Structure 1
Amino acid sequence: MYNLLIVDDEIHVVEGLLFDLNKDKLNISEVFTAYTIKMAKEVYDHHPIDIMLCDIEMPQGSGLELLAWVGEHYAATETIIITSHADFAYAKEAIELGSLDYLLKPVPTVDLEKAIEKAINKLSQKSQFNHYHKFWSQHHPLIIEKFWLDLLQQTIPSNEKAISEVMKERNLPYSKQMKFILLLLSVQRWNKDMTIRDQKILEYALKNGATEMIIDESQTGSFVQLDQNRMLIIMAVEPEIAGMPGDLRSRCNAYIESCHRFFYCDISCYIGMPVHAHEIPRMFDQLKALERNNVAYNNKVFLLKGDTIQPASVKLPDTELWAALLKKGAKEAIISEIASYLEGLVSSNQIHAEILQKLHIDLMQRIYYVLNLKGIQAHELFSDPVSAELSANSTRSVSDMMIWVRHVVNKALKHGEVESVVDKVKKYISLHLEDDELTRDKIAAQTFLNPDYLSRLFKRETGLSISDYLLHERIRMAAELIAKTEMPISQVAGSVGYTNLSHFTTIFRKYMDYSPIEYRQRKQRCPDQ
């Protein structure tokens, strides 16, 4: 029998819940009520509470505060939130604080009974573990996780004798007959922009969801967080089991569907075969290889036996064609060529991680070659954080590869287009005429081009060297200022990059046939000349 506490500041809500509850059916012995957080804490002081139904918004404090307090002082209590607010922020915080369920008012009797039965089942599981399961649940999870990490990283040698000795040293029960199934859960991508805090909450929700949906009531699973997007479940199974439990794949499929629908992520599950403890490192390596070579499919369950992706010998594409397309600036053509090649491998089930790695290397080789021909410095284009991240992720999947391909091809050809480079130089010069230290090298640095190559390119397109064009622009702008403003000649000289007035006057006379003062006087007498 179980004790239930209802906490809500609305008396009619409490009375309604009491009326709907079938205590005998739900195996409830006592129901306590409280209308404030203070009253709820007083109930805890005098009575053991197994299940708590709690509203969120109350006049003397938030139900989430009470949830946190219960989690700290009475962790055995299963909590269920009831609220009038369908607010995702509330739901996230409730999940983070350990709430078992989240119900919206008015709560249908069926939903209420299901939530309470869910809490009772969870409480019942805790009291029905055998000696082995009791041990693994009672010890601090970090101790268990540390043991498995040491085994996976082979800090503990993977042989029966060494494992037996370490378990004995750490006071862990162990039998040679024990078997375990490994499940590698891998988040392939998050499909929604989130803060770090939101992602942490959803990672916590993923773990809770796996506990409820994947691990059978008769089993105990230990979780090992491998990195930000991967976790390993190590499930103890009956020694006589030789294969995978019958409904494990369907449970994993249901879990994946829920994660994709509610937690905004693509996730795949890789399931190993039952093995003894000393065989776990080898099994883990096989699951990692299976995950690494899954570059084509999202939201799928893979079984090590039957779904293994074997790297095949595949003919790589002709990269000479890629180089020719890059030199011609045929952006869409090269992207289409690579996409067609990858689609063909996916449809024939020949795609794997090694192919993407080779493709990545070959494409970069061709891009570097073409950039070098054009005098473009590759590190100036691809050393930014976005390029680095896309490159690092490109071999994870076909879709990630194509995102990276579009990025590098677009960026390489954008900076290699003659017209855009020349226009960029002209614009930069017009904005920096007052800079008396404006040089060819300084201008080239803005375009990521070799100075010599930029000079040849600019002269071919404009008929002028960069220095001649700069001089002409300075004199043109100076003439405009002299003719149309009353600005002193010394200021005009400074505004177009001349610090020496005498030198400015000499250069101006050479190109305009008049000194600056004579030119102003002439324009004042005859504005149209």
Structure 2
Amino acid sequence: MQVLIVDDDIATVDVIEKKTDWESLGVDHVYTAYNIKQAREQILTKEIDVIISDIEMPKGSGIEFLEWYRQQGLDGEVLFLTCHDNFGYAANAVKLRAAEYLLKPFDVQIMEAALKKIIYELKEKRRVREESAYGQWMKGNPVRQKNMLLNDLLTAQISPQKEQVLEEISRRKIDMGADLYEKSCRLVVSKVMDKEKIHEKVNANLARFILENIHSEMLCRDAEDAVVSCFEFKDYYVVATVCGKKGELAEICTSMIASFRELLEANTTCCIGECCYVWELYDKYQNLLELIDENVSYFGTAFYEEESVISADESRDAVLDLDEMDRLLEEKKKLRFLSCIKQELGERMKDHSLSDQTLRKVRHEILQSVYTYLGKKEISASGLNDDGSLNRLEERAVQSVTDLIRWVNCLLERLFSYEAEVKNSYQLSQKVDEYIREHYMEPIGRNEIAAHFYMAPKYLSKIYKEQTGVRMIDTITACRISQAKLLLEKGERVSDVATAVGFENFTYFSTIFKKYTGVTPNQYRKNE
């Protein structure tokens, strides 16, 4: 396998050439070029399998180079590097079948993982072509057959019944050996969180390859014989591997978790299942996933299926001291509020009795305290989360104590700032006056204005009266009468003026107008 590095930045070429573990990737020779012309000369004189190329270069772009390369009919793969997250570049790269696309500054380990994926897929592509028939290739790839079987079992593409599974194995002509009728399948399931962070570093395809690769290399004696599947969900990945080890699995999984954290900045929880029959893999997979979700105290660590100590939390008693939490909110002691939560949940973490149900209960209790606090202030809670960011944190709060504390911290920050916004009487009275001037012609009153500002009508009226010295309804009426006078001065009909300024009843309009001006609308119109 031969690689060509193309970049006008000499330092970048040196870093890639000297820092990459080429031997582990199966690369025999590495060539370099500092512009497109040199790269073309290398391509025409060497048998290059993989190209690592910058996109932006002074004497021709990497996209133009790849287009030329494809025109030569060559089947090598290209890994692009660029300083700019430009969609146009990415779209052209995909169109010209670039294998991967990484942003600078890049992590050497990430680049090595990308190269490993590229080289593996290139070898597979060439092998398929050489074998000429897909069926012949599949027949000679028992590991690929087993991987496809595992994927179909875990996604219930095959019914998880003994007879159906055995029939499918026979139909696919998969040689399971003596393991077929023995409890020899030990499933290890990893739930890898922080998908958003992962995708900031690598794309989805490369992420799946890295996760599968680390799983197979660390959990299986021979990575090339590993049976592993990776599934992508909304906020996380799940990786499942069948292996035969047990004694050192917890230590291996702990190292694997550290690798995921270092390489992808992702938190991972592993559950090591007890051995089962092949036809029991679906049920085992579902059970291990449930155990990972339920056993929150094991978050970010590895544990055996038999170590699970969670039982249904049917107690109706509150987890937190609600009176104390209410008092701390009143005193705005955020750090003490957070400390009480950590202390209570920390005790449950120690004996591994903390479940996702407990976190759900705590989340509910915290929301209850917040709503009680706002209720006492007569402030509506509907404006607490206008941007939706708190909703996303709230959803994740049951994953771990860390996620719960992160949500509570943001919730309290927003709570106190929201309260300050609502209580800022000077700004609020101005906004109310502005709203009245813009909507006086509509059927507005205290309730409609309060709803607009996410406040209780009684509380808003109280603040407005304290600030301005007048009632809000009087301000609305004064605004309408002021506008009516302007229209009457222009000679408009009295009935039309009444409707235009928000009065539905002509008689009532005349009464109010005379009360404010001392004359009827008709008298005012004639005098003007």
Query: What's the TM-score once normalised by structure 1's chain length?
Result: 0.63
Question: Does the C-alpha gap of structure 1 residues 293 and 64 become closer, same or farther in structure 2, counting only changes over 3 Å?
Answer: farther
The one of 507, 511, 516 equivalent to 2:516 is 511
Q: Could you list the per-position Cα deviations for residues 159-200 of structure 1 after superposition, in whole angstroms to 9, with x for gaps in the alignment?
A: 5543221222334333351635423131236459xxxxx559
> Given that residues 478 and 496 in structure 1 are in contact (C-alpha distance below 8 angstroms), is that contact kept between their aligned partners in structure 2?
yes
Instruction: Look up the match of 1:302.
Output: 302
Residue 256 of structure 1 aligns with an amino acid whose one-letter code is F
- 5 Å-filtered alignment, 1:300-449, equals 300-304=300-304, 308=308, 310=310, 316-317=318-319, 320-321=322-323, 325=327, 330=330, 332-333=332-333, 336-337=336-337, 339-346=339-346, 349=349, 350-365=353-368, 385-405=388-408, 410-411=414-415, 414=418, 419=423, 423=429, 426-427=432-433, 430-432=436-438, 434-448=440-454
Matched, 1:249 2:253: yes
Question: Does the C-alpha gap of structure 1 residues 318 and 247 become closer, same or farther in structure 2, counting only changes over 3 Å?
Answer: closer
Cα shift at 1:358: 1.0
CA distance in 2, matches of 1:103, 1:502: 74
Cα shift at 1:386: 4.0
Provide the secondary structure at the position in 1 that maps to 2:239: strand
Q: Could you list the per-position Cα deviations for residues 60-103 of structure 1 after superposition, in whole angstroms to 9, with x for gaps in the alignment?
A: 65268639977x9877x57677x8x777879x969994469999
CA distance in 2, matches of 1:376, 1:189: 36
Question: Does the C-alpha gap of structure 1 residues 62 and 137 become closer, same or farther in structure 2, counting only changes over 3 Å?
Answer: farther
CA distance in 1, matches of 2:5, 2:157: 50
Residue 302 of structure 1 aligns with an amino acid whose one-letter code is A
Provide the secondary structure at the position in 2 that maps to 1:431: helix
Question: Does the C-alpha gap of structure 1 residues 160 and 188 become closer, same or farther in structure 2, counting only changes over 3 Å?
Answer: same
- 5 Å-filtered alignment, 1:106-505, equals 135=141, 144=147, 147-154=149-156, 156-158=158-160, 160-177=162-179, 179-188=185-194, 190=196, 199=200, 201-216=202-217, 218-219=222-223, 220-237=226-243, 241-244=245-248, 248-249=252-253, 251-259=255-263, 263=264, 265-273=265-273, 275=275, 276-293=277-294, 295=296, 300-304=300-304, 308=308, 310=310, 316-317=318-319, 320-321=322-323, 325=327, 330=330, 332-333=332-333, 336-337=336-337, 339-346=339-346, 349=349, 350-365=353-368, 385-405=388-408, 410-411=414-415, 414=418, 419=423, 423=429, 426-427=432-433, 430-432=436-438, 434-448=440-454, 453=458, 457=462, 466-472=472-478, 474=480, 488=490
Instruction: Look up the match of 1:525.
Output: none
> Given that residues 185 and 268 in structure 1 are in contact (C-alpha distance below 8 angstroms), is that contact kept between their aligned partners in structure 2?
yes
Provide the secondary structure at the position in 2 that maps to 1:345: helix
Residue 445 of structure 2 aligns with an amino acid whose one-letter code is T
Query: What's the TM-score once normalised by structure 2's chain length?
Result: 0.63
Cα shift at 1:268: 1.0
Q: Could you list the per-position Cα deviations for residues 291-345 of structure 1 after superposition, in whole angstroms to 9, with x for gaps in the alignment?
A: 32465787x441326874646979634565168549xx72724774354123432
Question: Does the C-alpha gap of structure 1 residues 51 and 362 become closer, same or farther in structure 2, counting only changes over 3 Å?
Answer: closer
CA distance in 1, matches of 2:27, 2:424: 77
Cα shift at 1:435: 1.8
Provide the secondary structure at the position in 1 that maps to 2:177: coil
Cα shift at 1:505: 7.2
Q: Could you list the per-position Cα deviations for residues 201-247 of structure 1 after superposition, in whole angstroms to 9, with x for gaps in the alignment?
A: 4433333333444422712243321413433334354x5x4434597
CA distance in 2, matches of 1:214, 1:426: 60
Residue 468 of structure 1 aligns with an amino acid whose one-letter code is D
CA distance in 1, matches of 2:326, 2:196: 37
CA distance in 1, matches of 2:101, 2:448: 63
CA distance in 1, matches of 2:78, 2:195: 31
Question: Does the C-alpha gap of structure 1 residues 6 and 154 become closer, same or farther in structure 2, counting only changes over 3 Å?
Answer: closer
Provide the secondary structure at the position in 2 that maps to 1:270: strand
> Given that residues 9 and 36 in structure 1 are in contact (C-alpha distance below 8 angstroms), is that contact kept between their aligned partners in structure 2?
no
Runs of 5+ in structure 2 lacking a partner?
128-136
Cα shift at 1:252: 0.8
Question: Does the C-alpha gap of structure 1 residues 392 and 27 become closer, same or farther in structure 2, counting only changes over 3 Å?
Answer: closer
Cα shift at 1:357: 0.8
Residue 515 of structure 2 aligns with an amino acid whose one-letter code is K
CA distance in 2, matches of 1:98, 1:387: 37
Cα shift at 1:361: 2.7
Instruction: Look up the match of 2:131.
Output: none
Residue 439 of structure 1 aligns with an amino acid whose one-letter code is G
Superposition RMSD on alpha carbons, in Å?
Answer: 6.3
Question: Does the C-alpha gap of structure 1 residues 437 and 497 become closer, same or farther in structure 2, counting only changes over 3 Å?
Answer: same
Identify the range of structure 1 (373-382 vs 214-223) with the bigger mean alpha-carbon deviation. Answer: 373-382
Cα shift at 1:356: 1.1
> Given that residues 293 and 309 in structure 1 are in contact (C-alpha distance below 8 angstroms), is that contact kept between their aligned partners in structure 2?
no
Residue 171 of structure 2 aligns with an amino acid whose one-letter code is E
CA distance in 2, matches of 1:123, 1:500: 79
Cα shift at 1:288: 1.9
CA distance in 1, matches of 2:118, 2:436: 76
Question: Does the C-alpha gap of structure 1 residues 442 and 51 become closer, same or farther in structure 2, counting only changes over 3 Å?
Answer: closer
Question: Does the C-alpha gap of structure 1 residues 356 and 507 become closer, same or farther in structure 2, counting only changes over 3 Å?
Answer: same
CA distance in 2, matches of 1:511, 1:189: 64
- Which protein is bigger by CA-based radius of gyration? 1
Question: Does the C-alpha gap of structure 1 residues 362 and 250 become closer, same or farther in structure 2, counting only changes over 3 Å?
Answer: closer
Cα shift at 1:393: 2.4
CA distance in 1, matches of 2:307, 2:144: 36
Aligned residues: 477
